[in-house]
Structure 1
């Protein structure tokens, strides 16, 4: 039996990590693992690389991340994924390696003003990163469920997601997107 995948997609500072932590607290029908793209990026060496080499390393890292999600689910693990689909190839790669019927695709949104405020308060992200990603991450325009962390707190968003998890729509957003892109 394959595991369920709750796939949170949103910009940097949109609240994905906070929602993921809440999901781990409230989901009581299985054991969920949290897989975050930032964790995979943190495993990489930090020495300076030429831009071309860095770009290639980041692409390989993200492709490995996508395959680790698939591998975890394939052996029966339920996972909560925290990702930023800011380049079209990332979504297409996920569509090609993840079983679409097992993915609950969640759009995590927030107003640009709030993203800028959060990014500045965090101080650990390049200035303007969230604004740059804002339109790109949701460009595909199809989710199973969406939440707005500017109007709902992380627990409320997690509760909304939990309701959708027990009764996933058919076809799923990943099934529809796969038909469109692959």
Structure 2
């Protein structure tokens, strides 16, 4: 393995509700960042699973399967970064255990946490227009996703274009102080205190 392969990749972690614009922002970042990046989406991981109703016939079985999938998703992020890949993550931290698991699994990785915001009315409009989501998912997640309240960068996809939001993330990456604690570092330290 050469020296370049031994360097860990960076993680840009987009957190927001369903329909907040995370996937569009991830695509814009991949198109405009200066090095090779990969988009890892929790929705894509979810889509890989079985759709047999007889296997997921109770809320308990569904929750168990989704929990295992999400824990695997978190570990795939760490694995990609550990192998030297830069990763843009598209996730919904709507349950406290998801953030706690990510803080543990991604310890030692360079993670930039981006809050992807959008007003509830716009989320509901987008959800209806998409037609591929159950109505009410964004509203259910709205008060849960950002409860930790600490980000390295925050964007509002209703107030700014996808290109402007991507530029805000790129500008942060270009101007951040090397070695300065990130939101993940602060959240991890706060949890330990």
Smaller-chain TM-score bracket: over 0.9
How many angstroms does 1:99 deviate by? 3.2
On the 8 A contact 2:11/2:109 being kept in 1, the answer is no
The runs of 4+ residues in structure 1 deviating greater than 6 Å are none
Aligned to 2:182: 172
Q: Secondary structure at the match of 1:127?
A: coil
Question: Out of 148, 153, 160, which is 1:152 matched to?
Answer: 160
Provide the aligned C-alpha RMSD in A. 1.0
Aligned to 2:81: 73
Aligned to 1:42: 47
- TM-score, normalised to structure 1, is 0.97
Aligned to 1:129: 137
Distance in 1, matches of 2:107 and 2:39, equals 18
Are 2:98 and 1:93 aligned? no
How many angstroms does 1:75 deviate by? 1.0
- Counterparts of 1:18-29 in structure 2, within 5 Å, are 18-28=24-34
Deviations 1:51-87 (A, max 9, x none): 1111000000000000000000001100000000000
Distance in 1, matches of 2:79 and 2:122, equals 35
Deviations 1:106-156 (A, max 9, x none): 000000010000000001111111011011000000000100001001111
Are 2:61 and 1:53 aligned? yes
Aligned to 2:3: none
On the 8 A contact 1:100/1:174 being kept in 2, the answer is no
How many angstroms does 1:101 deviate by? 5.3
Are 2:26 and 1:16 aligned? no
Unaligned runs of 5+ in 1: none
Q: Secondary structure at the match of 2:27?
A: helix
On the 8 A contact 1:100/1:175 being kept in 2, the answer is no
Aligned to 1:113: 121
Distance in 2, matches of 1:51 and 1:167, equals 46
Q: Which has the larger radius of gyration?
A: 2
Are 2:70 and 1:62 aligned? yes
Unaligned runs of 5+ in 2: 1-6
How many angstroms does 1:100 deviate by? 5.4
